[in-house]
Structure formats: structure tokens, C-alpha cells
Amino acid sequence: MKPLLQVFSYIDRFHEFVAKMTAWLIIVLIFTMTFEVGSRYLFSNPTIWSYDLSYFLSSLFLMFGMAYTLSVKGHVNIDIFYARFTPRVKAGFDIAFALLLFFPLWFLIIKLMIPHFQFSFNMNERSSFGSWFPIIWPFKLWILFGLIMLLVQGIVEFLRDVLWLIKGGERP
């Protein structure tokens, strides 16, 4: 049991590290948007790259923060009901919803995303929204990485809840 808990702890720390390192990119996003606003309104010379870059950076925050958010129980619950439950009942609901929603939806999203990424990579797909047309397969690749990290954290949380219901005591 102890080695499994150590693996859980390592995964939690890894996802926290990734989320916190990704959060530093907010500085790049702020600079990008500030530069764009200044270029557009002060000099009447908008950039050709800021839209795509802001889009890509924002997706990084979302995709690389999901696993960490799950590890700290930061995703949305219907607290009107959920807050009234005992911790063990909450664990039971978390297990049920993981089996009924989380895992099936994750597999559906991955099933749709992998061919989407493969097509993008094979065709060297480029963005059609901006005017500098950057390749977008790296963007789709980090979506896959984020989804994989979310699955790993989802498995960890699921196993924690199962172990807790079986053994009792404090939640591992």
C-alpha cells in the first residue's frame, strides 16, 4: 500500500509542478496582449501573430492545469448537495461519477482527438485564423498531453476513493 501511495504523491507533485510552471506563461500572454493593444491603438500597426499566440497559450493553461485542479478537488461540484454529504458518501459519488462520466467521456474525447492530431501532423496543418499561419499540430499535441495527465490523475483519484472506502481511516 505504501508504494502505491508514494506513486500517488509523485503524480500529484508532478501535476502541481507542470501547472505552476505553465502558470508562469501568463506573463508571456500579458506581454503579448499588451504589445498587441499598444501596436494596434497607439501605432495603428497590429501584429500578425498575437491572436494565434494568445490562443495557444490560453489552451496550455487549460490543458496543463486540469490534472492539478482535479488533484486539489477544484473542479465544479453541485455544492448544495455535495457539501452536505459525509466524506465517505462523497467518495462513493466520486467513484460512481468517475465510472459513469469521467472515464467514458475521457475515452470518447481521446478517440476523437487522436485522429485529429494525426491528420494535423501528417498534413502539417496550419492555422487559418491569423495571417502568419503557424503549424498547429504542437497545439493539438499538448491537448493530448493534457488529456493524458488528466486521465492519470483521474485514475489516482479513483483509486484513492476506492482504497478509502475499503480501508476507512483518512483518505490516502
Asked, for residue 46, whether it belongs to a domain, the answer is yes
Number of H helices, E strands in the chain: 7, 0
Name the grid cell of 103. Answer: 472515464
Asked, for residue 45, whether it belongs to a domain, the answer is yes
Angle between helices 137-167 and 103-123 (to 10 degrees): 160
Asked, for residue 29, whether it belongs to a domain, the answer is yes
Q: What is the pLDDT along the chain (172 residues), one digit of tens a residue?
A: 789 999 999 999 999 999 999 999 999 999 999 999 999 999 999 998 888 889 899 999 999 999 999 999 888 877 788 888 888 888 999 999 999 999 999 999 999 999 999 999 999 999 887 678 889 999 999 999 999 999 999 999 999 999 999 887 777 6
In a 3-state reduction of DSSP, which class is residue 36?
helix
Q: Which pLDDT value is given to residue 63? A: 93
- CA 122 – CA 136 distance, rounded (Å): 11
Asked, for residue 28, whether it belongs to a domain, the answer is yes
Q: Which pLDDT value is given to residue 12? A: 97
Q: Which amino acid is at 57?
A: L
Do 117 and 140 contact (CB within 8 A), yes or no?
yes
Asked, for residue 172, whether it belongs to a domain, the answer is no
Domain, as residue range, for 39: 2-167
The model's pTM is 0.89
**Could you give the number of structural domains in the chain?**
1
Name the grid cell of 61. Answer: 493553461
Residue whose C-alpha is closest to residue 64's, from 124, 134, 142: 142
